[in-house]
Amino acid sequence: MAASEAPTTGTSNLPAARVRRIIKEDKDIFACGPESLFLISRATEYFIDSLVRESYEFSRLDKRKTVQYKDMAKAVQSIEPYDFLADIIPPTTSVRKPAAPTTETPVPPVVTLD
């Protein structure tokens, strides 16, 4: 059952301690109530569900049964609310391109063969 379809139990699949830890890294955040922590946790599950499904759409277009990194990069590029992930899941560059650095786009960290 997808995270979005699971019967509402009032629990999250993500460990609360880890969610809290990530939030605590932000020194601008003063405090977060337990209900808010829970909502952020569930929202993250819905987000993962959404990201994976959108990525899969691109796999399907390519008639593949494996969701690949490049599908996810395409999803991030094409869906506006995913803009915040632009640096986290950047598009890959072809190895065939000349290695000379350009002033245009910075070379992304992940390089795969097309």
Report the interface residues with other proteins, using CB under 8 A.
1-4, 6, 8-11, 13-15, 18-19, 21-23, 25-36, 38-49, 51-53, 55-56, 59, 65-69, 71-73, 80-81, 84-85, 88-89, 110, 112
Euclidean distance between CA atoms 106 and 114, whole angstroms: 19
**Minimum distance of other proteins from residue 39's CB (angstroms):** 4
User: Nearer Cβ to other proteins, position 100 or 113?
Assistant: 113
Contacts of 73 (CB under 8 A, 6+ apart): 89, 90, 91, 92
Contacts of 32 (CB under 8 A, 6+ apart): 20, 23, 40
Q: What is the C-alpha end-to-end distance of the chain, expressed in Å? A: 33
User: Nearer Cβ to other proteins, position 11 or 106?
Assistant: 11
User: Nearer Cβ to other proteins, position 28 or 104?
Assistant: 28
User: Nearer Cβ to other proteins, position 45 or 93?
Assistant: 45
Could you tell me which of 38, 106, 97, 50 has the C-alpha nearest to residue 78?
A: 50
**Minimum distance of other proteins from residue 101's CB (angstroms):** 24
